Structure formats: C-alpha cells, structure tokens
Amino acid sequence: MALSADELGIILLSLKVALVSVAFSLPVAIGVAYVLARFEFPGKTLLDAVVHLPLVLPPVVVGFALLVLFGRHGPIGAWLESWFGIVFAFRWTGAALAAAIMGFPLMVRAIRLSFSAIDRRLETVARTLGGSRAWVFLSVTLPLALPGLVTGIVLSFARSLGEFGATITFVANIPGETQTLPLAIYTYTQTPSGDPQALRLSVIAVILSFVALVAAEWIARRKTAVVRGARS
C-alpha cells in the first residue's frame, strides 16, 4: 500500500531532524573526542562523564532539562529568542536539539576511539615537513580517523531517528512540526485502526536504520583498506 501524504511528511521530517542534529553536533563531537583522546588534564574524567550522561539518564529527564533551559522562559531559550529570534521549544529545531544531545555520546565515543588508534608518528612526520598543527590535523589526522567519523555519524543518525523520550518531553507530539517516526508510531498504536500505519512506519524505520548501518560498514571497510594499502 502506498504511503499517505501524512506518512511521507513524517518520514521527511524525521530525516530532516536527524540530518540537522548530526550536522550541528559533528564539529563539537570532533573537538571533544580529540581532547579526550589526546590530552590529560584535571577534570578529564568529569568531562567524559558529562559527555556520556545522556546514555544513562532517562530520556525524559534530558527532555525536561532542555525544556527548563531552552524553553521560552528558560535562561538560554529566552535569550536566544530575544536576541536572535531562535525558538526551540515545540519546534522541529527543538526535536533536532534533543536528538543531537541523545546521539552525541555515541558519536564522541566512535570518533575518540578512531583518534586513539592513529599512529602519532605519521603526524610527527608531517610536522617535521613543515606542516602546521591545523594543517596536520585537517590533512592527516581527520582522514585517518574517517572510519570512526563515519561510524559516529551513522550511530548518531540512527539514534536520532529513534529518539522518543527527550523529544516528546521537550517539544511535544505536534503533527507536521515535531511528530517524528517514533512519535507517529506511538500515536498510531494509540489510535483505533492505526495498526497498519504503525506497521508501515515501523518497517520504514527499520529499513532506514539498516541501510545506514550497512553503508557505514562499507565506507569504513573501504577506508581501512585504502589506509592499509598506503602504509604497505
């Protein structure tokens, strides 16, 4: 059976939320992962714990914290709205923010492991050839860490597609604005005769996540093969 216009809109909104959440969290995740992988400093354990906190907290707690901080009357939300006109609460941008925070630990962990596995002698050689720290990072470190970057991006993307608790607490379940795939599936399961729609959306969610994971594995294997070939 063909998808209805409402179901297609839900899928497109979910993809938009997931892509935006990944795009905005990736630069921060790279920076945090690099710091955790390469530096020792007081408070490193605390930073690591804060980064991974969304993995162990109930998602509803994260959503409530976002509502308190980024709501229209929250300290950050009120400031963003008054100065920049940016509103997160009960908007799709808030759903993207919630998804980014919930997927952030997975992204950081994958990228951090990739940074830690790099042979630092390669970076040292690049520095001795006259490369600046920034140039070496962009031209040597990041390409070598690409498998971890891809894995982190895909894990965060898949987590964003499946985010429910923080999203519904922070931005509610508003059709056409914040109703992503998990929220729509939940709504259909609570609606008489909504099981067929819930089933279709569930199958699509599984397919999207499966395709993303397969693509990530293929890209990571290709990159690993290229790096090994270059070293040999």
Domain boundaries, the chain: 5-231
What does the pLDDT average to over 159-176?
93
Tokens 């919930």, residue?
A: 102
Q: For residues 160 and 51, give the distance between their C-alpha atoms in angstroms, rounded to a whole number.
A: 16
**DSSP string for residues in 187-221:** HHHTSTT-HHHHHHHHHHHHHHHHHHHHHHHHHHH
Name the more confident of 227 and 203: 203
> pLDDT tier at 21 (50, 70, 90 boundaries)?
very high
Q: In this structure, what are the phi and psi dihedrals at residue 168, rounded to the nearest 5 degrees?
A: -70, -30
pTM of the full predicted structure?
Answer: 0.89
The pLDDT value recorded for residue 121 is 86
Mean pLDDT of the chain: 89
How many other CB atoms are there within 10 angstroms of residue 133's CB atom? 11
AA identity, residue 23: A
Inform me whether the pLDDT recorded for 165 exceeds 90.
yes
Give the C-alpha distances (Å, rounded to integers) separating 188 from 22, 193, 195: 27, 8, 6
Task: Write down how long the chain is.
Answer: 232
How many other CB atoms are there within 10 angstroms of residue 35's CB atom? 16
- Summarised one tens digit per residue, pLDDT across range 46-83 is 999 999 999 999 999 999 999 999 998 899 999 998 99
- Of 68, 73, 70, 117, the closest CA to residue 95 belongs to 70
- Of 21, 35, 43, 15, the closest CA to residue 152 belongs to 21
CATH topology of domain 5-231: MetI-like fold (1.10.3720)
Residue/partner pairs of 173-181 with CB below 8 Å, 24 or more apart: 174/90, 175/6, 176/9, 176/13, 177/90, 177/91, 177/92, 178/90, 178/91, 178/92, 178/94, 178/95, 179/10, 179/13, 180/10, 180/13, 180/14, 180/17, 180/95, 181/10, 181/11, 181/14, 181/205
> pLDDT tier at 214 (50, 70, 90 boundaries)?
confident
The pLDDT value recorded for residue 15 is 94
AA identity, residue 2: A
Using the 8-state DSSP alphabet, how is residue 140 labeled? I
What does the pLDDT average to over 183-201?
90
What does the pLDDT average to over 175-188?
93
What does the pLDDT average to over 85-89?
89
The pLDDT value recorded for residue 225 is 65
Lowest pLDDT segment from 12-21, 89-98, 125-134, 197-206: 125-134
Inform me whether the pLDDT recorded for 187 exceeds 60.
yes
